Structure 1
Amino acid sequence: MKVARGGDSKAGELPKAPAAGVPPTTNPIDIALETGRHDPDLESPARRVLQKNERLIEAQTAQLGRQRWRDFIITALGVCVLAGACLLVWDASQAKGVVVEPFAAPPDLVERGLSGPVLAAQMLDKLSRMQAQTESTRAASTYANDWGGDIEIEIPNTGVSIGEVRRYLRAWLGDQTRLSGEVFRLTDGRLAVTTRVGTNPATRGEGAEANLDALLQQGAEAIYAETQPFRYAVWLVQQNRNDEAKAVFQALVAGSDKDERLWGYYGLSNLAETSAERHRNLQAALRLNPRFTPAMFNLAMSLGADGREEQGYTTLGDFVAHAADARRELQSGWAEDMLNQAHLIRAGIVGDTRQASQRAEKGIGLSPWSQGTASAPVAAAVAYAAAHDLPAARRVLQEHGLLAPEAMAKLQMQFGPEFEYQSQFAMSVGDWAAARDHVARVLAASSAFQRGPAQADLSAGNRAVLAAAHARLGQIDEARAAIIPTKLDCAPCVRARGLVEAYAGNGRAADHWLRESVRITPSLPTAHADWAEAYLVRRDPARAILQARLAVEKGPNWAEPRKFWGDALMMQNKPSEAARKYREAVRLAPNWGALHLALGRAQAAGQTEAARGSFSAASRMDLSPADRTAVTSLLN
């Protein structure tokens, strides 16, 4: 069998051997290698061929490395250009805010420096000022058309540039509010100023040239009203233009946008002239959206001001339970401040005065509202006084320069005569004569005070305090006269009626009113605590202990019912048991001087040194004049 070898041999034939002296290949490298094996001379042509080929390979390798770097740089530049383009497009798609285009202006104004860009800048200044003056609780994310803080003038450039590309992309892909306008002369020489939002019909104002600034302000207000109606209404309220604001809120309520309707009701509630009207608007908002937390909070505060404690307590609980909704619907600072207030008020209602006072002091630095910042220190001082911690209350007032009478007088001009702390200081030590006098002055002054729509009338609660103070002083006729005008759904007022009748010696009437107060505040401890006091007045310690126990169950961190419990045990001649209850109360209210005095009296039955220590502690604390006299006598 014949075998073919080599590509040039014919099939079936063996390849011919190369002729003598002819290389077996045409590859010069192969020839050089073959020749170099038989020629040891380093300078031979074959060796030089190999050396040149080696240098050629090295040059090609170096060139390949440079090519790789060049390809990498070109690729990187391409990626950067693509990323820049994507970033430019993304930035354009996120564009919001307001763009004010240069106004058209008559030549004579331009010659005097009032060119189109200058007029646009003045319009921008007015819009920015209105935006800055608008203090609103509403979160920016809840607006369908939110400006944020992005308001700018846009002056087109000639030619093509990155800036022009960016401007075109933002106009095309973004969600900007574009404003334009014209200033022109009328035939009678007056000026007309028109302002336009996008392609909407223009708003026009006319007036003398001397009133150009007012015309621009009128145009800015028209723009603000058209693009940010809720913020515009809030701004109107802050300018004391309440009737105009109410009309804007009513238009929002009548609209089709559910979110704007909610906030429209919220705005109307803040302008309501009566608590009933306020409640109607807030409840209308909650019917639209039961989780609308701004309405929850305001409704709870209004219910509390009316004395409807159970409903207010429950509604604040709902508000706290929907904290995530609150943080979404309210500006961040407002949400945290309002949640802190909700926790504070709920703690105070169930007698957890320590937590309430700590929350109140925390609130001093939380409020983003100028009025909240001004009022928070006094609220903290009152909370500390309710916890029988007058040193802490004075510290807060001193730190904020509010111990001076003129400082408080200035705040009362803003917030009303109810804005005071002296009556709570007097009640904290049981000085009922001083409390009576302070509250009587407040009630007399509040009748003449011009209250704003959003300012709650606290006269019902003050009447309850005044009636109880009169009763504890034995002034029954005055007490009854003070409480008669109050409503029967006002829980503090119903409790005060019960205390008045208890001090009057009318046990049946006292039980009626205090039973009613338990009925309207079933989850709260205060009615039981007042009922315990009423039984102590009637010398019925067993029933006093029963009511004190119920108060402790509903308000486990409240010192008052434990003191009443101890007082009842002392009435039963059980001083050692009374001392235990007093010590429980001392752990909750360590700076309550009257409590240390009561503890010392219980200890005096068999613990002389301990009693002296309690009397000594009481002597260093705030006391009523009567308790001060008693402590001095006991120590001497």
Structure 2
Amino acid sequence: MTDIVVPPDPPASRPTTPGTLDPIELALEAEAEALAPSNPARLVLLRHARLLQRQIASETLSLGLLRRQIASETVSLGLKALAGVAALGVAGLLGMLVWDASTERGLVIEPFSVPPELAERGLTGQVVASKVLDRLSELQDATISNRSPTTYANNWNGDIKVQIPETGVSVGELRRVLVQWLGRQTSISGEVYRTPEGLVVAARTGAAAARPHAGTEAELDALIQAAAEDVFAVTQPYRYAVWLGQAGDEESLRRADAVLQRLIVEGDDEDRLWAHNGLSIDLIVLGDSAGAIREADAAIAVEPRFGLAWINRGDFRQAQFGHSEAALADYQTAQRLIRDHGERYYRPEALAFLTSSVEGSIAELTGDYASGARAFNDVVRHPGREGWLYLAVSDQAAGHDLAAARAGRSRVAATPADADAHQRALDAQAAATMDMAIAEQTEDWTALLNAIAGVPEADLLPGEREAWRLQATPHAALGRAKQGDLAGARALIATTPLDCHPCVRARGGIASTAGDWAGADHWFGQAVRQAPSLPFAYAQWGESLMARGRYDAAIARFKQAAEKGPRWADPLELWGEALLKKGDWAGAVGQFAAADKLAPKWGRNHLRWGEALLKLGRRQEARAHLSRARALDLSAADQAVLARLEARPG
């Protein structure tokens, strides 16, 4: 027996039960049995086929509509993106306009109001505005200042234009509105009108009252110039003060001082700083030395990193007082400050000029005349600084390069025929400084005194006259002593202050020339105490000791001088002379060789070098140096020594 039950076959007369309930499958089974077309199963299959056709057609239509929707949405997104980009562009443009307007510092001159008959003749309001613009540009170009434009609170610095009226709404008109709202643009307006006497021209800055300038119609250009100066004074007070001061006469300086004093009271910190500095320079020229020092101190108090004030104070201390040690300290501080902070305060060309000028001043006070000459020649290359040539020439002479000094002296332009008395006096002072330096090196005391006497002191301004006397008197007094006029020398040097370092050194030199050794020691000791960092008093003291035959004491002073002025040839040459007198000829040759490295064109050094070599029996070398000395500049006394040495047999 099995556990599987096989069901019996159905009777043939009984219908078969469907295998599925799916109408499609039922219809397909009916189609397979070849049923009649009217059979319900076949009809189901036909109807379902038609339904599928309609469904496919509907989905095809929907797909087309979907594609068109996607394309439409893509176009819409593109348009929206373009609109966004356009909006960003407009916003960016507006942002740029706003930023540009907020940083605007220019000057806009609106067309002036003019009488109709002038306008008919071509002198329209816009033409007058253009003339004012031209005058302002000329004033600005003529103003020579070290100050960086970025330090001005109201700096239009060349951005000057005439406002041309526009109609309608434009980007230019929108910018103008934004500038008026956000910027610091200075607006100038004005008018020209008739009076019974002629014309009046007036220009106003912003809403301030205009200052009228009256004259005849023939004087119109002068009236416009005056109006432009008014605008310059109101909008650029510091530059206006500098421009006034450049005239150089006492009245202009006092007008400039009034502007600067007002700026000290009303200006911001930058203006106050520069106003104190400018006022110090004007006061020194006007003869108020104490006031000049006070204003330089005030500038330093406002901004201790302002190197120009330190330079000016150093100049005042040296030129007006002879306080050389303090001047050197100021110059050294200025050099460091200009190097570290100069770009903050000065125009690039001014920074280069100040760097060279302070380098030259330091070099002069330490005996490094070669560096001083190079530095001042660099200064001369800057436009408007040609007048500094006399400093380069003086350093070349002091550095014993008299050929270069004379060449530089020959480059000095002649004073113009139409120059006023003041300018002639300034030119004569510069020429005398050069001639004095050259004469001193050749011990031509007559030429030195003549150079000093040729300066018309009365035509100098008070401060200039004071500085010139302090500079020239020590040289003149020593020159008189060398000529044998000891009484005149003492009387002249007695007019100088006792705290003037060059003056006290001259007192020592006069005493030494007179054989007053105690007096010489006293004054040279005073000079060393006044300026322990400078080499000159040590060397002069050493010369005085050598003249007494105290060679070791002299060498000690020369050594000190060489330490204080390692780039100064004089103490090395004098040291060699002391060794030569002691009989240490080899040691003398060494010192002369060392001096030659610093002053290779010094005739006296080659002369003494040749003498020492002759003592050593090195005649060929000696002759070479004596020949070199003959080709260079020598004093009358040295020429006599050269003749004696060359006359020796062998």
What is the TM-score normalised by the length of structure 1?
Answer: 0.83
> Is the aligned partner of 1:236 residue 2:252?
no
| Mapped pair 1:310 → 2:310 | no
Cα distance in structure 2, aligned partners of 1:520 and 1:301: 17
Question: Equivalences for 1:195-594 in 2 at 5 Å?
Answer: 195-239=203-247, 240=249, 241-255=252-266, 257-272=268-283, 273-274=286-287, 275-306=289-320, 307-323=322-338, 324-365=340-381, 367-368=382-383, 370=384, 372=385, 374-397=386-409, 401-402=411-412, 413=424, 415-420=426-431, 421-428=434-441, 431-432=442-443, 434-451=444-461, 457-594=467-604
Partners of 2:445 and 2:483 within 8 A in 1: no
How far off is 1:625 after superposition?
3.3
Report deviation, 1:629.
Answer: 4.1
Q: CA deviation at 1:550?
A: 0.9
Q: Secondary structure at the match of 1:458?
A: helix
Structure 1 residues 182, 449: CA separation in 2 closer, same or farther (over 3 Å shift)? closer
Matches within 5 A, 1:92-103: 92-103=101-112
1:87 aligns with 96
**Does residue 639 of structure 2 align to residue 628 of structure 1?**
yes
Deviation at 1:506, TM superposition (A): 0.9
SS in 2 for 1:375: helix
Rounded to whole Å, the distance in 1 between the matches of 2:144 and 2:53 is 90
Displacement after TM superposition at 1:596 (Å): 1.0
* 1:119 counterpart (125, 128, 131): 128
Deviates more, 1:22-31 or 1:332-341: 22-31
Rounded to whole Å, the distance in 1 between the matches of 2:206 and 2:103 is 18
Against the structure 1 CA distance between its residues 540 and 215, is the aligned structure 2 distance closer, same or farther, given a 3 Å change threshold? Answer: same
Q: Is the 8 A contact 2:119 2:125 kept in 1?
A: yes
Q: How does 1:7-26 map to 2 (within 5 A)?
A: 17=24, 20=28
Deviates more, 1:174-183 or 1:504-513: 174-183
Counterparts of 2:84 and 2:265, CA distance in 1: 58
Matching of residue 152 in structure 1 with residue 161 in structure 2:
yes
Which structure 2 segments of 5+ residues have no match?
1-19, 29-44
Note closer, same or farther for the CA distance 1:406–1:279 as it changes in structure 2 (3 Å cut).
closer
One-letter code aligned to 1:309: S
- State the shift of 1:154 in Å: 0.5
Q: 1:446 to 1:24 in 2, by over 3 A?
A: farther
CA distance in 2 between partners of 1:135 and 1:23 (Å)? 102
Read off the aligned partner of 2:153 and give its amino acid letter: A
Q: 1:484-535 CA distances to partner (integer Å, 9 max, x unpaired)?
A: 2111121111001111111211111111100000111011111111111111
SS in 2 for 1:488: coil
1:438-478 CA-partner distances (Å, limit 9, x unpaired): 34432452433333756762222222122333334444233
Q: Which runs of 5+ in 1 are unaligned?
A: 1-12, 32-48
SS at structure 2 position matched to 1:196: strand
3-state SS of the aligned residue for 1:587? Answer: helix
Note the C-alpha offset of 1:314: 0.7
CA contact (8 A) 1:616 1:635 kept: no
Cα deviation per residue 1:152-176 (whole Å; 9 max; x = unaligned)? 1002211122222222222222210
1:278 deviation in Å?
A: 2.3
* Alpha-carbon RMSD: 3.6
Q: Which moved more, 1:527-536 or 1:167-176?
A: 167-176
**Would the alpha carbon gap of residues 358 and 208 (structure 1) be closer, same or farther in structure 2, given more than 3 Å must change?**
closer
Give 1:23 shift: 6.9
502-511 or 465-474, larger mean C-alpha shift: 465-474
1:183 shift after superposition = 2.8
Q: Distance in 2 between matches of 1:567 and 1:592?
A: 14
Q: Which moved more, 1:107-116 or 1:153-162?
A: 107-116
Q: Which one-letter code corresponds to 1:617 in the other structure?
A: R
Task: Give the conservation status (yes or no) of the 8 Å contact 2:435–2:451.
Answer: no
**Alpha carbons of 1:284 and 1:110: their partners in 2 closer, same or farther (altered >3 Å)?**
same
Residues of 1 paired with 2:179 and 2:21: CA distance?
A: 81
Which residue of 2 is the match for residue 8 of structure 1? none
Inter-partner Cα distance in structure 1 for 2:84 and 2:549: 96
- Deviations 1:115-144 (CA, angstroms, capped at 9, x unpaired): 221222222222222222222232222222
For residues 381-428 of structure 1, what are the alpha-carbon distances to aligned partners after superposition, in whole Å with 9 as ceiling and x for unaligned?
222222112233344455xx43x8779998972624231222222333
The residue aligned with 1:3 is none
For 2:560 and 2:54, the matched residues in 1 are separated by: 113
TM-score by length of 2: 0.81
C-alpha displacement at 1:200, in angstroms? 2.6
Q: Residues 268 and 405 (structure 1 numbering): CA distance in 2 closer, same or farther, change over 3 Å?
A: closer
Other-structure match for 1:6: none
Distance 1:590 1:184 in 2: 72
Aligned residue pairs, count: 591
| 1:321 aligned partner, one-letter code | R
Secondary structure at the aligned position of 1:178 is classed as strand
The AA in structure 1 aligned to 2:275 is: G
Local SS of the residue matching 2:429: coil
Counterpart amino acid of 1:618? A
1:165 to 165, 174, 194: 174
* Structure 1 residues 576 and 451: alpha-carbon distance in aligned structure 2, compared to 1, 3 A threshold: same
SS in structure 2 of the partner of residue 590 of structure 1: coil
Query: Contact 2:368 / 2:565 at 8 angstroms: preserved in 1?
Result: yes
Give the letter for the 1:614 counterpart: H
Q: Which residue of 1 aligns with 2:31?
A: none
Aligned mates of 1:441, 1:412 — CA distance in 2 = 17
Greater shift in the superposed pair: 303-312 or 242-251 = 242-251
CA contact (8 A) 1:483 1:497 kept: yes
Structure 1 residues 271 and 341: alpha-carbon distance in aligned structure 2, compared to 1, 3 A threshold? same
Cα separation, 2, equivalents of 1:212 and 1:64: 71
Residue 261 of structure 2 contacts residue 275 of structure 2 at CA under 8 Å; is this kept in 1?
A: yes
Identity across matched positions, percent: 34
Counterpart Cα distance in 1 of 2:415 and 2:121: 50
Bigger mean CA offset, 255-264 vs 483-492:
255-264
Structure 2 SS opposite 1:158: coil
After TM superposition, list the pairs within 5 Å mapping 1:58-73 onto structure 2. none
Q: Measure, in 1, the Cα distance between the counterparts of 2:404 and 2:646.
A: 26
Cα pair 1:249 1:265 within 8 Å, conserved: yes
Secondary structure at the residue paired with 1:418?
Answer: helix
1:87-131, CA deviations, whole angstroms, 9 ceiling, x for partnerless residues? 333322222121011122232322222222122222222222222
Flag the structure with larger Rg: 2
1:264-298: per-residue Cα shift (whole Å, max 9, x none)? 33333233222233223323333444333332221
Matching residue's letter, 2:241:
A
C-alpha distance in structure 1 between counterparts of 2:71 and 2:644, whole Å: 107
Q: What displacement does 1:72 show? A: 8.4
1:464–1:492 CA contact under 8 A, matched in 2: yes
Distance 1:406 1:454, change over 3 A: closer
SS at match of 2:188: strand
- 1:575 partner amino acid: W
Deviation, 1:82, is 4.6
Distance of aligned partners of 1:409 and 1:247 in 2 relative to their CA distance in 1, 3 Å threshold:
closer
3-state SS in 2 of match to 1:627: helix
